C-alpha cells in the first residue's frame, strides 16, 4: 500500500485529468519524457496486480480458518476489498485508453438498474450524458482519495486485529503468544524480499504481463470488438456474468 501511495503521488505530479490530454500525459509524458516515469508507472501497475493476488490468498486463508467469525475484523476487511476494487477501477479509467472508456461505460451503467432513479443516477455519476470530461476528473479525485483512504483502512484493520490478537492454525484460544519480533519480523522480511525479486522481474522484463496493452486512445464513437481484460479485473468480469 505504501508503494502505491508513494508511486501514485509521483504519477499525479505529471498526470493530466483532462480528456484531451490524459492519454498523452500517461503514454507520452510519463512513459517517455519524465525521467524514470516508466519505472514509477510500471511499479504502480504491477504492485496493483500483486495487491489483488495477495488479497485473494489472504481471503482464502481467512475462509479456510473460519476467521469470518470475528465480525469487526471481517467487515473491515470486506470494506478494504470493496474500496480496493473502486480504487483499481478508477485508476484503470485514468489512462483514458479505449478499454478505460468502455470499462467505465459498462461498470457505471450497473447503476441504471436501480429502480425509479437508475438513469438519473448514472447521469449524475457521469456528470453529463456520457462518460466524458467531468467523469474523468471526478474519477481522478476518487482514485486519489480512495487510494489514500486504503492506507488508513489497513491501519484500522490491524488495530481491530490487535483487539483480540491473531488466531492460529490449530484454532485454539491461548494467551501463550509469541512476540512479533524476531520470528515473524524475519519471516515477513524474507518473503518481502522474495516479493521484490518477482516484482522486479515483472517491472523490468514483463511490465504488461498482467495488463494487456492499453495503447489505443479512447474513441467514444467506436466500440472496440477486441476485448481483453486485465488480470486484476477477473472478479469484475465474473460479477458482470452473474449480474441479471
Ligand atoms: C491501493 C491503492 C492504489 C491502487 C490499487 C491503484 C491502482 C491504479 C491503477 C490500476 C492505475 C492504472 C495504471 C495504468 O494502467 O497506467 C492507476 C493509475 C494512477 N494512479 Fe493509482 N492506485 C492506488 C493508489 C493511488 C494513489 C494513492 C494515488 C495518488 C496519490 C494514485 C495515483 C494514480 C495516478 C495519477 C494514475 C494515472 C497515471 C497512470 O495511469 O499511470 N494511485 N492506479
**CATH number of the domain bearing residue 221:** 1.20.810.10
Rounded to the nearest 5°, which phi and psi values hold at 217? -70, 150
Query: Is pTM beyond 0.85 here?
Result: yes
pLDDT for the residue numbered 169 = 78
How far apart CA 127 and CA 137 sit, in angstroms, is 10
Q: Judge whether 127 and 134 are in contact, CB under 8 Å.
A: yes
Q: Which residues of 78-104 are buried (b: 16+ CB within 10 A; e: fewer)?
A: eebeebbbbbbbbbbbbbbbbbbbbbb
C-alpha cell of residue 155? 491501519
Instruction: Please tell me the least confidently modeled range out of 13-17, 86-90, 162-166.
Output: 162-166
Contacts of 220 (CB under 8 A, 6+ apart): 101, 130, 131, 132
Is residue 89 within 8 A of residue 236, CB to CB? The reply is yes
Nearest in space to 95 (alpha carbons), one of 47, 56, 131, 140? 140
Minimal-distance CA residue to ligand 1 atom 37: 94
Q: Give the ligand 1 atom nearest the CA of 151.
A: 1
Phi, psi of 20 (to 5 degrees): -70, -30
Ligand 1 nearest-atom number relative to CA 5: 27
Smallest CA separation from ligand 1 atom 24, residue: 147
Residue 235: CB atoms within 10 A of its CB come to 12
Please tell me which residue, 229 or 130, carries the higher pLDDT value.
130
For 43-52, the pLDDT digits (tens) are: 999 999 999 9
- Pocket of ligand 1 contains residue 43 by CB under 6 Å: no
pLDDT tens readout for residues 4-30: 999 999 999 999 999 999 999 999 999
Give me the domain span that covers residue 48: 2-169+178-242
Domain count, the chain: 1
Half-sphere exposure of 29 (CA within 13 A, CB side): 14
Amino acid at each position: 500500500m505504501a508503494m502505491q501511495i508513494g508511486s501514485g503521488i509521483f504519477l499525479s505530479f505529471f498526470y493530466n485529468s483532462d480528456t484531451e490530454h490524459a492519454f498523452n500525459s500517461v503514454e507520452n509524458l510519463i512513459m517517455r519524457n519524465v525521467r524514470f516515469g516508466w519505472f514509477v508507472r510500471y511499479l504502480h501497475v504491477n504492485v496493483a496486480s500483486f495487491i489483488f493476488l495477495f488479497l485473494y490468498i489472504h481471503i482464502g486463508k481467512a475462509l479456510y480458518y473460519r476467521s469470518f467469525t470475528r465480525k469487526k475484523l471481517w467487515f473491515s476487511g470486506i470494506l478494504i476489498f470493496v474500496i480496493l476494487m473502486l480504487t483499481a477501477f478508477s485508476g484503470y479509467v485514468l489512462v483514458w485508453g479505449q478499454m478505460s472508456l468502455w470499462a467505465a461505460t459498462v461498470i457505471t451503467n450497473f447503476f441504471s438498474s436501480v429502480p425509479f432513479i437508475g438513469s438519473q443516477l448514472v447521469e449524475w455519476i457521469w456528470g453529463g450524458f456520457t462518460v466524458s470530461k467531468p467523469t474523468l476528473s471526478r474519477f481522478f479525485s476518487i482514485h486519489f482519495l480512495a487510494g489514500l483512504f486504503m492506507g488508513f483502512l489497513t491501519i484500522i484493520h490491524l488495530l481491530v486485529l490487535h483487539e483480540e490478537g491473531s488466531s492460529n492454525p490449530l484454532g485454539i484460544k491461548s494467551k501463550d503468544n509469541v512476540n512479533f519480533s524476531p520470528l515473524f519480523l524475519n519471516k515477513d522480511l524474507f518473503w518481502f524480499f522474495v516479493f521484490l525479486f518477482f516484482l522486479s522481474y515483472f517491472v523490468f522484463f514483463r511490465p504488461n504481463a498482467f495488463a494487456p496493452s492499453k495503447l489505443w486512445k479512447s474513441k467514444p464513437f467506436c466500440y472496440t470488438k477486441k476485448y481483453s481484460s486485465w488480470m486484476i479485473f477477473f472478479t469484475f468480469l465474473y460479477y458482470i456474468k452473474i449480474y441479471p
